[in-house]
């Protein structure tokens, strides 16, 4: 065999191998996109079935419950508190809200004030349990029952803070997956994404890591940057940050994903100043929770937001009350994890979206009243 013929065969073999690798990569990309589309179809479908508890203790009698909100400007914390207040009324409990006003010292002050009121229970409304662990330990030592909403990175027990009976949340990893994969699907597998988070909250960090993983599962997508920006100071920071990022990344920045809707409350003025079209321009903005009223309105009006993975806030408020009722009765938590639901322009008028909230039509209030034996 001549030297040239040997080289030619080698080149042909190399070309064939490259072609096989390209075909395999394309097949993997196609499979990933198919699964992403199937997942988005699942999380945008109507929520009609009740998958929560059907048994539990009857109402445990009159109690005093304090809801300590991380920040009443946060639509999620406010909404969960509204649901808990409604459930508390059904149970015959006295219910009061204290506002943590978006800062660590103010949250500590609110927690201390709550303890001084000598309630039967405290609900952590978005207050990070590890951040407030010393005060939580003090409350528990005084016999106060404690449950949380978004008090830790996952539903159930909060690692390292055993005094929290149960932390109510949807699965933050599924919330993040839904937001990340929606960017993948909406972009046709070409999204250039900036992630916005606040690392002071464990649940925000968990979401951001999962968003990043969802985006990076798509070979044609890219995470451009992770921006760690305090939620409590967005009014002062988000406008200038948006302008700076537009200057740095330009047209490469096609999608934003934030850990909650509040980030987008303050990015719009900078997008307007940059002459970004509110309906079809880029970046297209997606929130991984919580489903605030302004977010629903932005999606409906096509004003700088295309989706939110909304929490069923009122349902979660009822679950908070149910978990407390179980704690008062000396029983175990329910273990319930509410469903993940993605709102987009295509389904924004369903599942409570017409009222600017995710309120699933699965009869959760009647289910809980039946458990408690109340009307």
* Dihedral (Cα; 353, 359, 362, 366), 10-degree rounding: -140
Model pLDDT, residue 7? 62
List strand residue ranges (DSSP E) for the chain, in order: 64-69, 94-99, 121-125, 145-149, 167-168, 192-197, 222-228, 255-258, 284-287, 307-310, 341-343
User: 176-188 b/e with 16+ CB inside 10 Å = b?
Assistant: bbbbbbbbbbbbe
Mean pLDDT of the chain: 93
Locate 34 and state its tokens: 């198919």
Q: Three-class SS of residue 373?
A: coil
Residue boundaries of the structural domains of the chain: 41-46+172-310, 64-169+313-337
DSSP state string for 197-253: E-TTSHHHHHHHHHHHHHHHTSTT-EEEEEEE--GGGHHHHHHHHHHHHHHHHGGG-
Q: For residue range 81-128, list pLDDT tens digits in order.
A: 999 999 999 999 999 999 999 899 999 999 999 999 999 999 999 999
Two domains, one topology: 41-46+172-310 and 64-169+313-337: yes
Tell me the CB-side half-sphere exposure of residue 311, using CA atoms within 13 A: 33
The pLDDT value recorded for residue 153 is 87
Peptide bond into 294 cis (omega under 30): no
Structure tokens at 11: 């080149």
pLDDT tens, position by position, 251-285: 999 999 999 999 999 999 999 999 999 999 999 99
| pLDDT 10s digits, 139-176 | 999 999 999 999 998 999 999 999 999 999 999 899 99
Strands 341-343 and 255-258: unpaired
Confidence of residue 183 (pLDDT cuts 50, 70, 90): very high
Query: What is the pairing mode between strands 192-197 and 222-228?
Result: parallel
Architecture of domain 41-46+172-310: 3-Layer(aba) Sandwich (3.40)
Q: What is the Cα–Cα distance from 219 to 66, expressed in whole angstroms?
A: 48
Distance separating the N- and C-terminal Cα atoms of the chain: 92
Nearest to 173 by CA among 264, 300, 259: 259
64-169+313-337 folds as Rossmann fold (3.40.50)
């Amino acid at each position: 065999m001549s030297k040239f013929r040997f080289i030619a065969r080698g080149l042909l073999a190399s070309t064939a191998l490259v072609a096989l690798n390209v075909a395999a990569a394309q097949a993997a990309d196609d499979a990933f996109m198919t699964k992403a589309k199937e997942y988005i179809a699942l999380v945008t479908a109507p929520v009609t079935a009740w998958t929560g508890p059907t048994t539990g203790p009857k109402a445990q009698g009159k109690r005093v419950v304090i809801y300590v909100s991380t920040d009443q400007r946060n639509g999620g914390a406010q909404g969960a508190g509204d649901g808990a207040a409604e459930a508390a009324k059904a149970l015959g409990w006295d219910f009061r809200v204290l506002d943590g006003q978006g800062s660590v010292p103010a949250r500590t002050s609110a927690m201390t004030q709550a303890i001084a009121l000598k309630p039967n229970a405290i609900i952590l409304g978005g207050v990070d349990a590890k951040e407030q662990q010393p005060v939580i330990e003090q409350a528990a030592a005084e016999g106060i029952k404690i449950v949380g909403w978004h008090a830790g990175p996952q539903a159930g027990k909060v690692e390292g803070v055993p005094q929290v009976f149960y932390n109510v949340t949807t699965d933050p990893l599924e919330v993040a997956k839904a937001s990340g994969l929606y960017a993948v699907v909406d972009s046709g597998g070409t999204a250039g994404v900036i992630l916005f988070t606040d690392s002071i909250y464990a649940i925000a960090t968990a979401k951001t890591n999962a968003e990043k993983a969802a985006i990076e599962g798509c070979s044609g997508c890219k995470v451009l940057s992770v921006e760690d920006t305090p939620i409590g100071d967005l009014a002062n920071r988000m406008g200038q940050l948006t302008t700076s990022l537009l200057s740095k990344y330009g047209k490469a920045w096609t999608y934003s994903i934030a850990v909650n809707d509040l980030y987008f409350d303050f990015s719009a003025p900078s997008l307007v100043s940059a002459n970004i079209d509110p309906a079809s321009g880029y970046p297209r903005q997606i929130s991984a929770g919580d489903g605030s009223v302004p977010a629903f309105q932005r999606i409906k009006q096509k004003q700088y937001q295309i989706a939110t993975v909304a929490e069923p806030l009122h349902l979660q408020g009822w679950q908070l009350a149910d978990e407390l009722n179980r704690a008062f009765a000396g029983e175990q938590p329910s273990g319930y994890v509410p469903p993940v639901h993605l709102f987009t322009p295509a389904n924004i008028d369903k599942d409570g979206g017409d009222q600017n909230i995710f309120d699933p039509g699965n009869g959760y209030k009647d289910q809980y009243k039946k458990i408690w034996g109340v009307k």
